[in-house]
Structure 1
């Protein structure tokens, strides 16, 4: 081939490679809005604690420039710029941080989401996790938009292995105890059908006494609690002190003294942040729940 033609062919091939390499990929977020994937993001803002935890688990902590004031894990997240809370986001601060990716979720106010879109900021909104399986999907989606697909795949596989190990340990369970989950350290607030906490109880081979109520979060009245007579009460708290206060209230409440969980002192602490954030640490919550409900199958781990 003529040298000039060879050079022209090489240049054409190189140009096509560059064009293909820079080709934009468009994916849709969970609100069905398009997001354009170009180069890996360098300045990420997280609008929820579970998203922050996933980003750090994908080794993207150095790329995170802003988080909510509730993003307290891992410890390095505490040093990041705060952009408000889950529902009172500071738009001016978000804009000032010049993000090239903002990751939110359906729990953020729709008005705020619309304002961010109106400002043409690079926003990707995720669904709220409904169960452990949707947490895996959330991790994979964050892996895709940050171009950390392989890291996300490895993380999901490791979580699935832990899940399978827990299920194997529970394979011979004969009795699934009735469970009451007390959330937010308030005594009788609990979770119903459709919540990821209900899903965790079921996966830990327990029966959530509020699991047949089609409300994710609800207040349980004392009469119903007495009637359902839970064998185990699990108090989700941010601290042992908060747990002790709620436990003492339950044990000292005259009307609740006949409940089996109170009589047998099967009232347990579960870290609220583990169990209420649909991220990687939800697996820690599942493992702890399984050990609480069925300690006989986890004796070797103690």
Structure 2
């Protein structure tokens, strides 16, 4: 409820200014928008959430299958996955802008069909701030950085809620059971750092590295954060019974809805910090 109220308040603060914009996307390509787009297809959940938080949810005409927040987007046509969406379905929606990630395989094909595309893919806190600014200019929104200030304040509040002893906690955050982990260089890792804990996955391994499970056994984390979808059989993984977090039951298993909040670099990052802080308060010693 608090998250919904905060979102509503932010949307109320943001004024809309109808003007042309040129935005340089992740490819270094300048995208010319003579007017704010009115028919948008979003192929990345974090971008969908950002568009809505910036007060432009009504301009979305289609989304990828994983975009599920806020509630109104669940009624929109789904055009497949973000990496390999249904191009014909996108074209049929007659969008004046398609938002997608750098890893999408259909960017050139969409452009070849005459559609305007904007490639945005936030991976860390600075990226989130930059993407919000870019979307603000695209949408004709005045002071889109109000959203970032709210995120930043919420992360700070989550950090301040924790006792000093938490700082000694060594954390392993598993993104999925491959296992892919959230490293120090990721937006999740940066949030953990702001909460004052130590991530066992160093920045040198990249934002979301695929790990050898033996790496986690050797690192012996004090606490494990994992989505319930990936946590099945975690204790039975070879050697994991000896990990302190497993041995002492210091595992936070997040629901599917909570996992969505945690792994999306967008306007709900303050809520993600609160979920991590709650986990640390309950499990860290």
Give the TM-score category using the shorter length.
Answer: 0.7 to 0.9
Pairing partner for 1:257 from 241, 255, 266:
241
Task: In structure 1, list runs of 5 or more residues that go unmatched.
Answer: 1-20, 298-302
CA 269–97 in structure 1, closer or farther in 2 if over 3 Å, else same: same
Q: Which is higher, the Rg of structure 1 or of structure 2?
A: 1
Task: In structure 2, list runs of 5 or more residues that go unmatched.
Answer: 1-16
Q: Aligned pair 1:92/2:76, yes or no?
A: no
Q: Aligned pair 1:215/2:206, yes or no?
A: yes
TM-score by length of 1: 0.78
User: Corresponding residue for 1:83?
Assistant: 79
Shift of 1:274: 1.2
- Decide whether the 8 Å contact of 1:197 with 1:276 is kept in 2: yes
Shift of 1:64: 0.5
SS where residue 293 of structure 1 aligns? Answer: helix
Shift of 1:281: 1.4
Shift of 1:220: 3.3
SS where residue 167 of structure 2 aligns? Answer: coil
Alignment of 1:12-27 (within 5 A): 24-27=20-23
In 1: Cα distance, 2:225 partner to 2:50 partner: 26
Q: Aligned pair 1:266/2:260, yes or no?
A: no
User: Corresponding residue for 1:146?
Assistant: 139
CA 171–293 in structure 1, closer or farther in 2 if over 3 Å, else same: closer
Alignment of 1:113-192 (within 5 A): 113-126=107-120, 128-150=121-143, 152-170=144-162, 172-173=164-165, 175-184=167-176, 186=177, 188-192=179-183
Greater relative contact order (Cα < 8 A, sep 6+): 2
TM-score by length of 2: 0.82
SS where residue 209 of structure 2 aligns? Answer: strand
Q: Aligned pair 1:280/2:267, yes or no?
A: yes
- Decide whether the 8 Å contact of 1:132 with 1:282 is kept in 2: no
In 1: Cα distance, 2:155 partner to 2:259 partner: 20
In 1: Cα distance, 2:18 partner to 2:174 partner: 51
Shift of 1:235: 1.0
Q: Aligned pair 1:206/2:197, yes or no?
A: yes
Shift of 1:252: 4.4
